[in-house]
Structure 1
């Protein structure tokens, strides 16, 4: 079984039975696709993310209240554009971060941020 097929199956299993979020006002991207991208990139392996299930071991900060935070990584103002930058290339912002570059495309990063910054139901 290929890794891509396994990851896709895992993503679908994580998403089964969960409701979507409304599209956030003023943000680009598709929150429903963002939720899938967060699962496909295994973000839940390190972060607690609202609406996604996963392991109970966390390396990274929980992302539950991300929309209310003033800064990303303690350095950047919390905007969608900065969050996209952080997701795509965290080491360019903080060379000492433990967060790896996961090869996230611009489109996936926009969609992920739409999910993360959308109001919870």
Structure 2
């Protein structure tokens, strides 16, 4: 019973986890940046109609995911640097470094956590 409770607590969603919010982020700008840099060429992303990439995982429900990449904690302080240069944060990540600023990555994270 205790293990089940702990497991459920570890997998709680964004609504239960205020650490998965980006107060300074602009979700609408994040969507615009994702369209501009072509995130949809690898990922299916709600709000991005075309293309619907199949190379990377779909990005729906990002705020409810416990992990990103190869097992990194899904928290803004991990996700934002990952969005900018995934291989430097998660060695061996197939996601390439992206031509975005830290502010743009923060906005993308705000968008993704709102899904």
TM-score computed with the length of structure 1 as normaliser: 0.72
- Aligned with 1:105 (options 96, 101, 104): 101
Q: Alpha carbon RMSD of aligned pairs, Å?
A: 1.5
What's 1:55 paired with? 51
Relative to structure 1, is the Cα distance of residues 107 and 57 closer, same or farther in structure 2, using a 3 angstrom cutoff? closer
Q: Secondary structure at the match of 1:81?
A: helix
What's 2:40 paired with? 44
Quote the Cα distance in structure 1 between the aligned partners of 2:82 and 2:50. Answer: 22
Moved over 6 A (4+): none
Task: In structure 1, list runs of 5 or more residues that go unmatched.
Answer: 1-24
Answer 1 or 2: which has greater helix percent: 2
TM-score computed with the length of structure 2 as normaliser: 0.76
Number of corresponding residues: 95
Task: In structure 2, list runs of 5 or more residues that go unmatched.
Answer: 1-17
Q: Residue 77 of structure 1: CA displacement?
A: 1.0
Query: 2:43, 2:52 within 8 Å by CA — same for their partners in 1?
Result: no
Quote the Cα distance in structure 2 between the aligned partners of 1:117 and 1:57. Answer: 19
What's 2:82 paired with? 86
